[in-house]
Amino acid sequence: MARVRMVRWTWAVLAGLCALATCEVQQQCPQRSEISPCTCQVKKNGLDVLCEMTDQQHISDAMAGLKGKPLVIFYLKLRHNNLKKLPGFVFLGLDIRHLTIHNSSLSVVEEASLTSIGKMLTQLDVSQNSLTQVPSAAIRNLHHLLILNMNHNKISSLHSRAFQGLDTLEILTLYENKINNIDAEAFVGLGKAIKLLPDKTNLVGVA
Ligand SMILES: *[C@@H]1O[C@H](CO)[C@@H](O)[C@H](O)[C@H]1NC(C)=O
């Protein structure tokens, strides 16, 4: 009994030291079948997970296959999919650092879809989709985000405080949209972020 307790103690202390020293846990991809049709590779800083030419249900199922493990998903790339809506809680329990949703017909980003990864996410790329406005409610909690790429969407206006909450953002890019109206308070809360907008954007009235 005493010996078991001792062993447990030793492990607890070691795990604690490990956490303090942020010693790296060797990352491992899940079984292929657990995340199919997505694929996974181990990279230096974590996993690189790719899902292409599939749909929302398959992506949700694959995300479930990544849950419950101490994984760092350094890149999650969802490309060329039929993903009209990013559902709430789809990434709950995952540690995602760079998220790309590209050319996937995305038009709705549910409010609770990104909240759970707000403490880890540093890059969000939702380029080449069908967004008609900035999904402010969904991105409001991304307090570590450095880069937001919304190029090549169908955004025609930037509403008041569209990017509020993105207090760490450094680069915002909105090329290839049809922006013709920008609220005077559109960028309130964005700090010193560099804003890259389409050439023809009418910036009159923007502070
Ligand atoms: C976008 O995705 C579709 C599949 O949904 C694919 O057929 C098409 O080639 C992709 N377009 C580009 C420019 O990659």
All structural domains of the chain, each given as residue ranges with its CATH number in brackets, are: 36-206 (3.80.10.10)
Is 104's pLDDT higher than 70? Answer: yes
- Is residue 204 very low, low, confident or very high in pLDDT (cuts 50, 70, 90)? very low
Mutate to test the pocket of ligand 1, among 54, 81, 101, 103 (most ligand atoms within 8 A of CB): 103
Q: Residue of the nearest CA to atom 8 in ligand 1?
A: 80
- Is residue 102 very low, low, confident or very high in pLDDT (cuts 50, 70, 90)? very high
Nearest Cα residue to 103 out of 87, 80, 120, 121: 80
| Torsion 97-115-144-129 (CA) sign | positive
Predicted pLDDT at 4: 57
Q: What is the pLDDT of residues 127-163, one digit of tens each?
A: 999 999 999 999 999 999 999 999 999 999 999 999 9
- Is residue 20 very low, low, confident or very high in pLDDT (cuts 50, 70, 90)? low
| Residue that wins the pLDDT comparison between 102 and 7 | 102
Task: Output the ligand 1 site: residues, CB below 6 A.
Answer: 53, 80, 103
Predicted pLDDT at 207: 40
Nearest Cα residue to 104 out of 156, 52, 37: 52
Give the Å distance between the CA of 133 and the centre of ligand 1: 22
Give the Å distance between the CA of 126 and the centre of ligand 1: 14
Percent of the chain at pLDDT exceeding 90: 78
Is 199's pLDDT higher than 80? Answer: no
Burial of 15 (C-beta count, 10 Å sphere; 0-12/13-18/19+):
exposed
User: Which atom belonging to ligand 1 lies closest to the Cα atom of 105?
Assistant: 5
| Cβ pair 52, 80 in contact under 8 A | yes
**SS3 of 104-118:** CCCCEECCCCCHHHC
pTM for this predicted structure? 0.86
